Structure 1
Amino acid sequence: MKLSFLIKSLAGAATMVAMAGPALAAAQSAPSPVTLKGDVMLEKIVTENGVSKTQLVEPKVVIPGDHLLFTTRYHNDGAQAVTNFVVTNPLPSAVALASESAPGTEVSIDGGKTWGQLGSLKVTGTDGASRSATAADVTHVRWTIPTIAPGASGEVQYHGIVR
């Protein structure tokens, strides 16, 4: 895969949104008052005066093994609280979910058809045998935000590794 294509893919990584719970029917007929903004940063380890620290930089060039931080920021522009707001992020095909992002995050390994905690999901291998899913099998991550008050903001994040 060309690096320039991967960078464009990362920068344009789509964020899908759905409303859950009683507001679902209303959400399908009216635009959501919640706005989203997604971005991706490259995590670089830099050493200054013998001290190593992680620095976030714009990903101009990435190579396999690079660590990325995907962030989706949300803001309720409406006058009413929004409940059970679901943010779903597909992972770019050139990125694997980093294992540190998996605990407690709801994931899908089948393109968003089914969801669960990574430890509870199974994958059928090419030999037909079932095995536990790993972070590398994840295709989507999602979060349910219980309540977003009017004017409130927040963010959700996951770490990925360039394949």
Structure 2
Amino acid sequence: MMFKVLPTSFSFLAACAVAVMPAQADVLLSSASVERVVLMEYEDGSTETEYVPADAVEPGQELAYVVSFRNEGAEEEDSVVMTIPVPEDMIYVDDSVIADNAAVDFSVDGGKSFAPRDDLVIEDGDNVRMASADEITHVRWTFARVTPGEEGMLAFHAILN
């Protein structure tokens, strides 16, 4: 079995910090983690998703990239934008984005342009087709307003190649 060691939370946090728009310096990322997604099945037939530390993972396992943030400033911040790249060795999982009160857009061109998932297309000559999950390179959250002291969390799931 081949295991891959993931970047530490510190390096993941550093990568995310760069993606917060500079004008919004008071909105700080308070934590970032990569967790393994585990589906727990119970005797009664019910299931529940749990998140466990992802120190080493195998190809095909689903991971959650989770970032928490807080507005440390005394003023509200408008149009707060946070972008997280989907790591190169990962495939985004459709419909896995978590974000309260945020518009979510996606990129297939390395973060140069963004669109809602339903409008994300690939132009190949005369052909235009819907982008597949494995073509998504970045996920971007836009919060209309983040008030002083407000905390939030954003996340997406991806599968290790």
- Tell me which protein shows more helix as a share of its residues: 1
Deviations 1:3-32 (A, max 9, x none): 444x1278733211116xxxxxxx2xxx70
Q: Distance in 2 between matches of 1:140 and 1:72?
A: 14
Q: How does 1:124-143 map to 2 (within 5 A)?
A: 124=123, 129-143=127-141
Q: How does 1:7-156 map to 2 (within 5 A)?
A: 7-8=6-7, 12-13=11-12, 14-15=15-16, 16-18=19-21, 27=23, 32-36=25-29, 37-51=31-45, 52-101=47-96, 105-124=104-123, 129-156=127-154
Deviations 1:131-150 (A, max 9, x none): 32111110000111111111
DSSP 3-state at the match of 1:45 = strand
| Percentage identity across paired residues of the two chains | 27
| Letter in structure 2 aligned against 1:160 | A
Q: TM-score, normalised by structure 2?
A: 0.80
Q: Which runs of 5+ in 2 are unaligned?
A: 98-102
Q: Distance in 2 between matches of 1:149 and 1:60?
A: 35
Deviations 1:21-62 (A, max 9, x none): xxxxxx2xxx70111132121111233445432221001221
Question: 1:157 corresponds to which residue?
Answer: 155
DSSP 3-state at the match of 2:75 = coil
DSSP 3-state at the match of 2:112 = coil
Deviations 1:42-84 (A, max 9, x none): 1112334454322210012212221111111110111111111
Q: Distance in 1 between matches of 2:111 and 2:86?
A: 11
How many residue pairs get matched? 150
| Letter in structure 2 aligned against 1:18 | M
Q: Is the 8 A contact 1:90 1:139 kept in 2?
A: yes
